[in-house]
Structures are given as C-alpha cells and as structure tokens.
Structure 1
Amino acid sequence: MKRLELLAPAGDFEKLKTALYFGADAVYVGGKSLTLRAFAGNFDDAEMERAVKYTHERGKKLYVAVNILARNADLGEAADYFAFLQSVGADGVIVSDIGLMNVLKRVAPRLPLHVSTQTSALNAETVKFYADFGARRVVLARELSLKEIAEIHAAVPQTEIEAFAHGAMCIAYSGRCLLSSYLSGRDSNRGECVQPCRWSYELREKNTAGEYLPIEEDGRGTYILNSKDLNMLDHLGEMAQSGVVSFKVEGRMKSSYYIATVINAYRRALDAYAAEGERYKENPLYQSELKKTAHRAFTSAYASGKNDDTVNAADSQSRGERTFAAAVLGYDGENRRALVEMRNRFKKGDVLEVLSPNETLNAKIAVKGLTDEAGNAVEDAKLVQQKLWLYTDIKLSAGDILRK
C-alpha cells in the first residue's frame, strides 16, 4: 500500500518541529500575510526558508497557505511571494483565489498548486477544471460524503485528493463566513476571523423590560453556532478507498500539545491500518488519546451523507483529560534524569504521563527527585518555563511531552 500522507498544521516553528517529531509526513504553514490564519505566529521569509530546509532534511514536505481572497493591492505582493516560495523549494502552495492561481502559474510555474478547501470543490467537473488549469491537488469541501469523494476520484484519478480528517469545523459553508466581519470588522476571508460562532448567545425580548430569554442547554448558555469537531479516525480506510491521499488535521492556531496529541494518534492509527487493515479500529488507544487534549464533541460530519447533528450546543469545548506539564529537552542516561521545561504546574508526588511517538507512550513517572539546573531541590514546579532535572529510569527523548 502506498503510504498515506498525514498532513499537520504548523502555526510557528515550534509547532512545525512538534508535528514532524510526532509523525507528520508534511506540514502546512503560512507567511506573515496573504494567509487565513493571520493571528498564528506564522513565518517570515527567513523562517520560511529555514523551515523548508528543516522539513526536507527529515524527508518530509512543506506546503504554504496563500489562501486569502485577494484584492488588486495584493497581486504584486503575491507575485513576489510565489517567486520566493519557488526559489526556496516549498513543495506546494494552497490557493483559493482564482486570480492568485493565475499569478502563480505565470511567475512560479514549478511551484505545485494545491486548490484550497475555500473554493468549495464539491463535484468532479470543478476538480477537473482545476486539474486542467494545472492543479496537482484539490482540498475537497468538508461538506462531501465519502461516496461523493469516491465519485470525484473515479472521474479525475490523476488529481491528488486531500481531505480533512480531524479538527474544528466552520459553521459556514467551507469557511465562507461573514459573521466576523459583521460583528467585529475583522474579515475571516482575509485571515482575521474572531470566531463569533464559538460565542455563547442569548435572546433578549425587545418590547418589555428587556428581559433575557432562556434558550440554554444548561446554565452556561447555548452555543447555537458552534460546530462539533471533525473526527474521522475510525474512517481512515474508507477515506483511503475513496481516493484520499492526504489526511489533513486542522489547527494552525492550536497549541503544540494539541498537535502532538492528535498527530501521534493519527500516525499510530494510519500505521496500524497499513499493517492490519480495518482491524486497527479494535484498538481503543487512538480514540482515547484524542480525548486527552481540548476538543468539542466529535462528529464524522457528512461522511455518510446528510447529517443534522453537527452543532455542539452545550459548551464551546472541553479542556481534555490531560494538561501539558513539561516539555522534554533531553535525557542524561548516566545520571538517569531528564531535562524538562515546565509548562503547567506540577509538584513532588504527582504522577506524570509520557506522550511520545516511541514505545514510552503513556508510561507513568512518579515525581520524586526534582531539582533546578543548579542542583537545588524543587518541591513545586511553578515557575513558567523553568528548566528542571526530573529523575526517572524511563529513557525519554527530546521532543517528548509530559502530561498530568
């Protein structure tokens, strides 16, 4: 079986490293402008060149999202940026604006075009249109069923199909939303969405004393526009059989811990699917891992067709069953201790759990010996990003995460 691509978000360089360490085959990133996640850290030109080099050194790929809906004033900047991305060896560029696709074709013909999900590609003729234009890959709309994806693949088999497998979903049609612009003046189609769909709403009666009317599911209010999170982990085989070659995880604004948790789960599940077929679903590990980071109620969205149950009305999201306690920076085998950087408070007596792409996943470490870098005993790790020596026989690796 040809290896299926696990495609991870990377909002900054730390998240890129995390995604690759935990098993992503490719990452997608954005520059400092012209991208739909303007509030992510993103990459300036020097960082982008370094990110491409770092990714390629590890045999992985890097795609760049240039997916705004462009105005005339953006065209010159986009032309320069496409030429730059081609020069540094980016593996593809994700574009939604037809005009920008034309600019790309003219100024950077060797840079592969990936058509963004923002184009709402829903049928075979649309995909064929982009393929004839020169697109190597199309990121299909989230609103499609697996049956429809298979039909598209059968009609246009030479075009790579990328589809979302996991993460937040927009309540609007493939992200074409005006709520943010209307309520805050920040344009979601220019990368500035404030996510008003995640807010809690109330009704207020106009003609009396202005009493607020209860519409809540519970005492916290109702999130009437709040979509559930996509989770296709139990449908990887069906996606592959439908023609999907790249399994995309949403989340350039998500934390490194979220990326590590989700990519680790999907990497293990995809590898198990490749080795044992549909039996991979019998292992509860993969779904249980996804519950250990922040998420909303899960849904398979429209995989099986029409679905009216995609709104998470009860709350915005859960915190997850674990929190990020420390990042592992290295392991000193001679003294049997790991150098860690504190991220959330922990103390002696706590039991930490290992998040790793290696065999140490879910190993437990009782916090007994803990010192600062100078060797002074520490009872309570409460200084943010303090570096500490944690004594343990478990051989941790740089890049591992400790959670509690």
Structure 2
Amino acid sequence: MGRLRAVRGNGRIWYRICRFRKTTLPFPRGTSRMRILHLSVLAFAIVFSSMATAVDLYSGAAEVPAQGDAERRTATPDALINVLQKQSGRWDIPLEPALESALADPDALLVAFQYREDQILRPGGLTEDRLMLVASFVPAAVDRLVREMQLPRWRPQREPVVAWVVVEDNGGRELQPVEYEDAWAAMARIAELRGLPLAWPELDEELRQSLDLQLLWGGYADQLLASGAATDGVVIIAARREGTEWNVRFNWEDGDNVAAWRTRSTDLVQALVDGTHQLVDHVAAAHSIGPAGLVATRTSMRVTGLESADDYAKVLSYLQDLGLVDDLRVMGAGPDGVRLDVALNADASYLAQAIRSDGVLEAGDQPDQYRLRRPEREPAVPLEPGSIDAPPADEAGEDKAPGS
C-alpha cells in the first residue's frame, strides 16, 4: 500500500504544470468553475512517481498454519493459483486440464519460498497474526501455463490506482477517517493479493481542510486525473451508513475508461472488499490482452530524439522490460535514430497501445517511428495558498448522495 504526498515549501504548494482536462460530465447545479479548479489543483498538488510500480507476478502467497514441509506442500498449489490471479486479473481461475497437471506437482515449477507474518488489522486497533507462504515459480513455466489455459494477460507494468474515500456517518463527512483503518488495510490487502498497486493521497491538515468533500462525494473522478500522472486512474469511494447497512458507491476513471458500481453490507469492511474486487476487475480488463491477441509477432520500429548514450540505454531498457517483448535486436543506429527489430508475444497493436499509455516514447511522423519524450523543462510555478481557498457559502452546489 502506497501513499502519495503533497509537497510544500516556504508556505506554498508546489506542483507540476499540467494541462487542465475539459470535462464532459454535467456538474451539479450551482457548482462554480472555481470550485472545479479548486479540486483539480489539489489533485495536481500530489506528486506522482514517474515509474511503474513493481509487482512480482511470479510469486504467490497462501496462508499456512505452520512452517513444516507438509504444510508448505499443501499451501504451494494455492500460491501457484495466486500467481495466475495476478497474471490474468481474474479472481476465479478455471480448473483446466493444464492447471490440474501443474497442481499435481507444483514443486516442479517452484524456484524458492519463504515465510512472512502478516498483521491483520481488526476493529478497535486489534491485530491478528497470519503466517503466509510466499512461493516463487519459474517465469517461463508460468507463462506457458497462462497460454495453455488461454487466460487473459494483464500488462506487467502497473501504475497505482489512487483511492479517495469519503465516509458519511452520523451526519458528518470525512476523508478516510482513522477509526476505519482496518477497512483501508483490508482494501490494500485484497488489491496486493490480486496484483493491483493501490495508493492513498496523504494530505497535511491545511490541505485536508481546503479539500472540497462535496465534489469528492459527487464522484467526479476526472477532476482528480492530472495530465501525465503515472497512475492507472483514480477511484472515488463514497460510503454512507443507512441504518444498519453501509451503502458504498465506487467511481473509477483512468482517462480512457469510466466505471461505477455499488456494494452494500452491514459490515463496512466487507462492502469495501467487495468493491475492491470489482475495481481490480475493471482495471485488469482495461489493460489486458485476450487469448486471441496472444500470438507471436515481429515488428520493426525507429526511435529518434536520442541525444546521448544514456538516452539510448533508456530506450533499450524500457522496451526490454515490457512484458510484451521477447527479444530486441538493434539493426542500425545513426543521426536519424536507432532501428530495432522486436519480437513480441502479442499482436503488435498492443505494443503501440503500451507505448501510448506509458509516456516514455511518443509517436513520430511515420507509423513505425517514435521519439523519446522529453520531460517538461519549465520551472515549477508556486501557487499561493489563498488561490485555493474554499468558495463562499452561497456558491455551494447541490448534494449528490450515494443513493442518488
């Protein structure tokens, strides 16, 4: 579980220059553009990592009662299934003949294993210790098993989804209240188990006070999407207690995809865990290659804009680290760039899609040409704290409750 921090200096909020996105969502009547800008600025105050979050897709976890060899052998098949869950994004893994064969002797695929103790948070600040087996498997064997089972392939380069949670209880609303820390820990545990990096915004008290909870409650996730930010989107979670039941609404958007869903339960943790499973389903589906696209192909490309040996190494390292790339050969290099022959394990269209999404390269003048993208060189602009003050009370927009 990660946290994204807002950075302050000399009493000012410093943020990267980003293009404000034009929203197509209808705003509640009475919601001013200043308030929309206000929420956007808070999003841009978050400094995101520029690198994808590393997820170990060839190691799986399973609970064990003890560290004996018999217990380890019993739990290893579950750890292998967990690897397939992270690889494919699917929680329910079908028991295909290829999987049955692998589960009959999972030690044949096993590389190494270790144990860890997880502390599970419970209500009231209590913790429960849980012993976990962490088993690593041969990557080539796992890849072959995924292909034989015709499972979708979730891209290995995964950015965090940033979760903003607003809770309404006893008439008041609060951003991620500390008294429900066990619920946030349960969400993070499920996301990690399924291979989704999940991050939380971490704001100091001044930023928390200036945050417009009404717009967050409305689920306008697009207003929290900073252009060029290294994330797989934003999810806004609005949870309201209605009698003995929790009504929870999820709104996820990543710039290209939008989804909304609801969960209900008398237990907030259960409602959030159910919703987190659906979040992983949506994110994985948006960034997966189906069985039809998993075919061996070759393509050629030319990359320009390389000004140094470091640039050259950066491009090669980026392409070699893509899960789509099986082999990479340099066919020539000169003032017009470097020419590459690339062996892929999927249709070439997925390589173009990954390049567009990752932002390391940008399209050139020809279909097979790319340029190394340069970071923004303009200096950061200080934003005066007074410019993001909350609007006057008479500009307040209409409420948007989970049930509406």
TM-score normalised by structure 1 residue count: 0.26
Of structures 1 and 2, the one scoring higher in RCO (CA 8 A, sep 6+) is: 2
Which structure: greater strand fraction?
Answer: 2
